[in-house]
Amino acid sequence: MEKKTAFFIFGILQSLSLGAIIFLIFKSLNTINGIRIVGLDTQILLSTLFPLFLLIVEYIAYSKK
């Protein structure tokens, strides 16, 4: 039970950090080039879905042990 709680705490922190990093990378690319690389809706979509997908995959791999 404690391992599962620790997994979710650190997994969610990891996903939030990864989402913020992805969002900031796209934002900085838009600022550097002066043109939109991807739109704001795509930034938000990639910043949420990719970390969420990664958390789900990690949970599946963790629960198999």
65: which DSSP letter? Answer: -
The answer, as to whether pTM is greater than 0.85, is no
Sorted by where each begins, the domain ranges of the chain are 2-64
- d(Cα 25, Cα 8) in Å, to the nearest integer? 25
Q: What is the model's pLDDT at position 44?
A: 93
Q: Burial of 65 by CB count in 10 Å (0-12 exposed, 13-18 middle, 19+ buried)?
A: exposed
Is the pLDDT at 1 greater than 80? The verdict is no
Q: Give 14-65 pLDDT, tens digit per residue.
A: 999 999 999 999 999 888 888 888 889 999 999 999 999 999 999 999 888 6
CA distance 30 to 38: 8
